Amino acid sequence: MVPLSAYIAVGAVLFITGLLGVVIRRNFIIVLMSVEIMLNAANINLVAFSYYLESMAGQLVALFIIAIAAGEAAIGLAIIIVVFRGKISTNVDEMNLLKW
Amino acid sequence: MVVVFFTYFALASIAAGVLTVSLRHPVHCGLALLALLVHVSGLFILLNAEFVWAMQVIAYAGAILVLYLFVLMLMNLKTDDRYFHSSYLYFLVPAVIGSLYVLALLVRSPFGGAKGDATTAVVLQDGDTHAVGITMFSDYLLQFEIVGVFLLGAVIGAIVLAKTPKPINKEHKA
């Protein structure tokens, strides 16, 4: 029997990995992929609590998170295409068009 | 047996996550992300959540990841020499120390709480998909509709953003 804290630990490690990816990577697409890693870590936590606390609410929220992730990926990649069309590189340090 | 599968899925998903963040070529990062998603879906199977597993494989690995790889191959990115942020060690060391502390706290916690009514026997009687459907269309109907409207807005926004813009200069001259 795997304890609940083991699942939570996996979720925490994955979340930290995704957070580091958002902070230290310079490619915009990899930053979006790291956000997907963080969403997956949250999903692991939700489904694990849903199983151990015997409630369906966690699985429902996990499904909604998957839908939100689909919308986020579509919008984010559309923004990347627009930026790339304007001959700006996908380096997040060089995207400062809105910076005051 | 469950422990063996859990150990494999957990270690493989963490390794795939680290590879996603640290690999140099963006397409390799996408493939490592695919490995991460599939192994996380294996964790969902261990937790009796077959419907979430199916959605993870179909929506995440099937739709979202294909979209990422499509955009990556469409743009044909050059690999930077310095693909990490210039001062990433300042972030890496405190993050590792802080996460070790949080992990020590998490492993010690018992995580007790009020139990719901969806015990394993009840869920397995008609299957997880049945239980998810009954809950989604009774207690979570409003959230379901909101997600539907959100996805419609995301589709329209993506189309508007990615559309080829009209040349504005001609209109100004005329």
Residue B95 lies in a domain: no
Enumerate the domain spans of chain A.
Answer: 4-85
* pLDDT in 10s for each residue of chain B, 174 residues: 889 999 999 999 999 999 999 888 888 999 999 999 999 999 999 998 999 999 999 998 889 999 999 888 887 766 665 667 677 777 788 888 888 888 888 777 777 777 877 777 777 788 888 888 988 999 899 999 999 999 999 999 999 988 877 766 655 555
Nearest CB to A24; choose among B85, B98, B123: B85
Residue B87, in any domain of the structure: no
CB contacts of B136 in chain A (<8 Å) are 60, 63
Domain for residue B98, yes or no? no
Is residue B84, in this structure, part of any structural domain at all? no
Residue B140 in domain: yes
Q: Which residue range is the domain that position B9 belongs to?
A: 2-79+121-173
Cα B83 to Cα B96: distance, rounded to the nearest angstrom: 20
How far is the C-alpha of B132 from the C-alpha of B114, rounded, in Å? 20
How many separate domains does chain B show?
Answer: 1
CA angle A2, A6, A7 (to 5 degrees): 95
- Count how many Cα atoms sit within 13 Å of the Cα of residue A20 in the half-sphere of its side chain: 26
CATH 1.10.1240.10 fits A4-85, yes or no: no
ipTM reported for the complex, 2 dp: 0.91
Q: Which residue in this structure is represented by tokens 């995704």?
A: A18
Instruction: Determine if residue B25 is left, alpha or beta; phi over 0 gives left, psi from -120 to 50 gives alpha, anything else beta.
Output: beta
* CATH assignment of the domain containing B59: 1.20.120.1200
All residues of chain B having their beta carbon less than 8 Å from the beta carbon of residue A22 are none
User: Is B45 near chain A, with CB under 8 Å?
Assistant: no
Residue pLDDT, tens place only, B132-141 = 898 899 989 9
**Does any domain span residue B104?**
no
The model's pTM:
0.87
> Of A14-23, A66-75, A79-88, which range is least confident?
A79-88
